[in-house]
Structure 1
Amino acid sequence: MPVSTPALTIEIDRQQQLPIYLQICERFRTAIAAGHLRPGDRVPALRGLATQLNTARGTVELAYTILVDEGYLQMRGAAGTFVSASLPLSVTHSSRGQGLQDTDGRPKFVEAGSPKTADASCSGQPAPRPLAIAVAMSGEPRPLQPGLPALDAFPLKVWNRLVSHRARGAERAVLAYPNPAGYLPLREHIATYLGLSRGVACLPEQVFVTSGYRAALELVLRGLARPNDHVWYEDPGYLLARSFLAETGIQLVPVPVDSEGIDVERGIQLDPEARFALVTPSHQSPLGHTLSLARRLALLDWAEKASRWIIEDDYDSEFRYLGRPLPALKSLDRYDRVIYCGTFSKVMFPGLRLAYVVVPERAVERVGRVACSMNAGSPTLLQAAVADFIEQGHFARHLKRMRTLYAERRMLIVHALEQAFGERLIVDLPPGGIQFAVQFTEGPDGPVDDVAVAARAREAGLAVLPLSIWYANVHGRRTLRGLVIGFANIADAREAGRLALTLRKCLDG
C-alpha cells in the first residue's frame, strides 16, 4: 500500500544568519513535535523540497543527514525518507508543540525570526591520582596524548602576526585589568559562531570567557549550586572534571553510560533529586558515543520538571568525520535549563587557556556577580587576538583543514594498531573527536591490567591513558580495560606504525 506524503509548507528566512539547512532541521523538529508529521510518515524527496524552497539539493540533503543522525528521520533507500518509527513519546506528544497551531487547530510551522517568549534564549570514588594525570598531560607534548590538537598544523605565522599587531597597538583595554566576563568582541563572535555552527541561540551577554574548562565549571557552580547539591556524572567520565567536582563538596552520582550515552532512566533511579547533570552529548568522554535523541529529550524533561541544570561539555564536537557536526544539546533546549561549555584548547591550542560558557538568560545576573567577585578574567591581549582570528576567517579555514587532516591521521593509527595488535585489541571508532578509546581482549591470564600497560607506555615515551581509571569504580564488573589514545599529532604512516609497535610491546610487558 503506497505511503502518502503529508502536505508541508516550510518557510525559511533568508535574512537570518542561521544557515538554511539548520532552519530546515528546526522546521522538521517543530512539525514532528506538533504532530503534523508522525512516525512512519514519508517526508518530501530531496529534489522536491529543494525546488519548493528554491535552494540547492545539497542543502536539503545536509539537513536530512543531520535529522537522520539525530534520530528524527530514517532513510530507506529507493523507498524514500521517513519520520523514524521509533521516536520516543516525548517527541511526538511534546509540550513543545503547544502554541504552534493556527486558529483552525491545525499545526503549522513557525517562520524563522518570529518573536520569542521573554524566557527563551540561548558518589563515587575520586579519579586515581588526578594531579599526576594533569601533570602527565602538561608540558612537552608526547605521542598519542589524548585531547591534544595538531600543534604542527596550527597557523603560527598568522597567529603571531595577530598577537603582534594587538601588542603594538597598545590599546588601553589590552593593558588594563580584563573584563571578568570576557572581551566583548570575542563574546560577540562566540555567540555568532555558536548560532551558525552549533544551533545555539544566545546573546553575547550570556557568554562568559574563562581561563579553561575548570574555571568555567567553578564559575557556574559558584553561581548556581548550593552546598551538598548532587550532580549526575557520566560513568566513565572526564577525569579532571570529576576530581574538581569532588573538591567542591558537591555529591557525585556516577550514572552508567552505554552506546546511547548517559542512561537517564538509571540516573533517576540512582538519585531523582540531583540538581545538576554534567554530560558530553556530542562525543562522550572517553567512550565517544553520541547521546541519542530519546536520551536527549528525556534529560531535558528531567531538568525542566524540577528546575534542574544540565551542564553540556561540548569539548571537541567541531571535528566530526561522518557528516557535519551535530547540533548541540542546547539547540534542543526549550526550557532554558542547559548551560553550554566550549573551549579553544581543542580547536586552536591548549596553551591559550581560553574557554567559554553560555548561561541561560535567567542566570546571567547571578553568574555575572560571581565573575566579578572571582576577578579572574583571561588576558585581554589573547582574547583580542582570538577575536581577530575568528573575524578574519582564519578560524573557519583552520577548522576545515583540521577536519580533513584528522580524518586521515586517525585512520593511520587505526590501521597501524590493527596490524600490531591483531585480535588483542578492539577498535570501535566514534564518528568524531581527536581521541578514541580502545579495548583489550582478555589474554591467557584473564583481563589485561590497562593501568600497568599505560605505565609501561609512559616509560616508553607515550602519553596514552588507561581506560579503567575513567570509571568511578576502577575494579567494577562493568569497567572496560583499554586505552584512551590521541591521534591528531601523528605525522605519517611510518610514525603510526612505529608507535603502534611500541604500544604492542607494552602490552606484553
Structure 2
Amino acid sequence: MTKPLRLELDRSAKAPLAEQIHKGIRAAIESGVLAPGARLPSWQDLAAQLGVARGTVRSAYEKLASAQLIVAARATGTHVADRPRLPVRRDKAPAPGSFMEMYQELTAGPAIFQMGVPSQETFPATLLARMRSRAVRVEMSAPTIYPDPRGEPDLRDEIAAYLALARGIECTPSQIIITSGFSGGLGLTLRVLGIEQKQKVWIEDPGFPFTRHGLGLAGLSIVPIPVDDDGIDVDFGLQHAPDAALVVVTPGQQAPLGSTLSLARRARLLDWAAQSKAWVIEDDYLSELQLKGRATPALASLDRAGRVIHIGSFSKTITPALRLGFVVVPAALASRFAETAACLAPAPGPAVQLATADFMRDGHYLRHLRRTKRTYAAQGDALLKYLRPRTANVAIAGLAAVLRLPDRASDLAIAREAAPLGLAPTPLSLWYASKASARPGLLLGIATSPLRRIEVSCDRLLKIINRPS
C-alpha cells in the first residue's frame, strides 16, 4: 500500500521545488513518519498530486536514491530503504559523588544564595543585547578571514586600559590573550608553562574546587596550603613544599573566606617565585568588585621578575554566559602564549568580544560596576542584619556570607534539602582539599540574594539547619 505523503510547497521561496520535495521526504524518513519498507507514490503520481512537473519530482527521488534513503524497482515500485535501527542515546546521570555531580549541583539554578553568578536584576540585558546584535552584523559583514587567535585588538586595548586604571597592571595589548573564561585561561596557561606531571602545585585550602580538580587532571601533585586572615600561608608552603613549580592564589579576595593577601606575604611569595623559578597564577575572579573600600592592586602589579600570570574574566562582573576571560602574561612569554592560542586554544568568536569592547569603551562597564557594588553592598548588609540576631557564626567574605555550622553538621545534606525550596547555598566543606581540616558551613551568595527575598529565604534555610537530626 502506498504511504500517503503530505508535502507543503512554498512557490514563493528561493529554494527550488525539487529541493523542497527532497527535504520534506527526507525529514519524514528520518523522523520515522515513513518507516523502512513504506511504499512511496510513483514520481508521476506525486507530480500530479503536487501540481509540479514530473521532472521536478524525479530529480528529488534521484537525490533520495543517491543518499540510499529510497529504493526504486520496476516490479514493486519505490520504497523507503531498510536502515539499521540506532540505539536511543540518553544522557546518563552523573555517578553519585563524582565531580560532574558536584559541578551540576553547584552550577544549577538560578536560585537564591547561588554562588558564582551575578545578579539578574543589575544585568544590563537590553543594552548588551543591542550591542551584541550590532557586533554580529559587523562580524558577518567583515572579510571572511580567520580572526586573531589572541583575541580582537579592540577588546585587548580596552582591557589593558582598564587594568592600568583599576588593577595597577601596566601591560601592552600584546600581553593579553582572550580566553573562554577563567577555565580557558587556566588550561592555556598550563599548556604554555609545560609543567611536568607530578610536580607540586600550591593551592589554597579552602580553595575553588573546580581549579583544584583541573590541576589534578593536568597530572600535578596538589599541596594544600592553609589560609588565614592574611591569605595563603606562604611560610607553610615554603616549609612543606619549597620545590613546588606552581602556586595558584586568589590574593584580592580569597575564595571562599574573603581575606586579602597581606603585603608582606605578597613580597615573600614573589621573592620565592623569582629565586626558585616557580610560576604564580593569580586568579582575579572578582576584579575590583570589592564591597568595602577600594580593591587592592593586583599581585601582578608588583611582579618584577615576570613570574605572575594574571587571569581575569567577566563572569562575575557581567555574566558567565559570555564565557569570556583573559590572561595577562609576562612580556617574555607573550609569543609562546600567542602560538599556543593559535594552535590549541583560539579566542572565542569576534561578536561577543566586539560587543564587550564597545561596552567598556563607552563607559558602560565602569558604570555597571558602580551600580552593582552599591546593590551588592546593600544586599550583604541586609543579609548580615537579618542573620546575626539568629546565628552568631556568620560573616561577609567577598561576595558571600559564610555561615559556619557545628562540627557534626552535614552542609551537603542541608544544601540538598534546601534545593527544592529554590535555595542554593554552597557547602563549604567541598572547598577543602584536606578532609582533616574541612569545616562544615554554607556559602550564601550575596549577588543572588535580592532584598525582597532575604527574610523568607533565610527563615526557610534556618529551619532546615535547626531541625533536629
The TM-score with structure 2 as length reference comes to 0.76
Aligned equivalents of 2:274 and 2:143: distance in 1?
41
Q: Which residue of 2 aligns with 1:435?
A: 400
Matched, 1:159 2:119: no
> Shift of residue 375 of structure 1?
4.2
Gap change, CA 1:416 and 1:369, over 3 Å in 2: same
Matched, 1:369 2:339: yes
Q: Which residue of 1 aligns with 2:155?
A: 186
> Shift of residue 317 of structure 1?
3.4
Instruction: Identify the match of residue 320 of structure 1 among 279, 287, 290.
Output: 290
Matched, 1:505 2:463: yes
Aligned equivalents of 2:278 and 2:345: distance in 1?
27
Structural mapping, 1:354-433, within 5 Å: 354-419=324-389, 421-423=390-392, 426-430=393-397, 433=398
Aligned equivalents of 1:170 and 1:236: distance in 2?
42
- Count residues in correspondence: 370
> Shift of residue 332 of structure 1?
1.2
What do you get for the CA RMSD once the two structures are aligned?
A: 1.7
The AA in structure 1 aligned to 2:184 is: A
> Per-residue CA shift, 1:184-228, capped at 9, x if unaligned?
110111011001110001110110110111110110010013222
Give the share of equivalent positions with the same residue, in percent.
Answer: 39
Instruction: Identify the match of residue 453 of structure 1 among 414, 425, 437.
Output: 414
Structural mapping, 1:177-216, within 5 Å: 177-216=146-185
What are structure 2's unaligned runs of at least 5 residues?
Answer: 1-96
Aligned equivalents of 2:201 and 2:433: distance in 1?
14
Aligned equivalents of 1:482 and 1:262: distance in 2?
20
Q: Which residue of 1 aligns with 2:439?
A: 480
Q: Which residue of 2 aligns with 1:219?
A: 188
> Per-residue CA shift, 1:29-70, capped at 9, x if unaligned?
xxxxxxxxxxxxxxxxxxxxxxxxxxxxxxxxxxxxxxxxxx
> Per-residue CA shift, 1:168-196, capped at 9, x if unaligned?
33455586544221111101110110011
SS in 2 for 1:191: helix
- Relative to structure 2, which stretch is displaced further, 153-162 or 353-362? 153-162
Aligned equivalents of 2:442 and 2:129: distance in 1?
36
Gap change, CA 1:169 and 1:367, over 3 Å in 2: closer
Aligned equivalents of 1:245 and 1:184: distance in 2?
30
Matched, 1:280 2:250: yes
Matched, 1:300 2:261: no
Contact 1:207-1:357 at 8 Å conserved across structures: yes
Gap change, CA 1:170 and 1:265, over 3 Å in 2: closer
The AA in structure 2 aligned to 1:338 is: V
> Shift of residue 487 of structure 1?
1.4
Matched, 1:251 2:216: no
SS in 2 for 1:231: strand
> Per-residue CA shift, 1:359-380, capped at 9, x if unaligned?
1011111122211121432011
Aligned equivalents of 2:136 and 2:391: distance in 1?
53
SS in 1 for 2:311: strand
Q: Which residue of 1 aligns with 2:454?
A: 496
Q: Which residue of 2 aligns with 1:23?
A: none
Gap change, CA 1:177 and 1:263, over 3 Å in 2: same
Gap change, CA 1:220 and 1:505, over 3 Å in 2: same
Matched, 1:346 2:307: no
Contact 2:195-2:245 at 8 Å conserved across structures: no
Contact 1:278-1:313 at 8 Å conserved across structures: yes
Aligned equivalents of 2:388 and 2:421: distance in 1?
20
The AA in structure 2 aligned to 1:437 is: V
Query: Highest Rg: 1 or 2?
Result: 2
Contact 1:283-1:317 at 8 Å conserved across structures: no
Q: Which residue of 1 aligns with 2:430?
A: 469
The AA in structure 2 aligned to 1:369 is: E
Aligned equivalents of 2:344 and 2:226: distance in 1?
34
Aligned equivalents of 1:160 and 1:354: distance in 2?
16
The AA in structure 1 aligned to 2:442 is: L
What are structure 1's unaligned runs of at least 5 residues?
Answer: 1-127
The AA in structure 1 aligned to 2:101 is: A
Contact 1:181-1:208 at 8 Å conserved across structures: yes
The AA in structure 2 aligned to 1:292 is: S
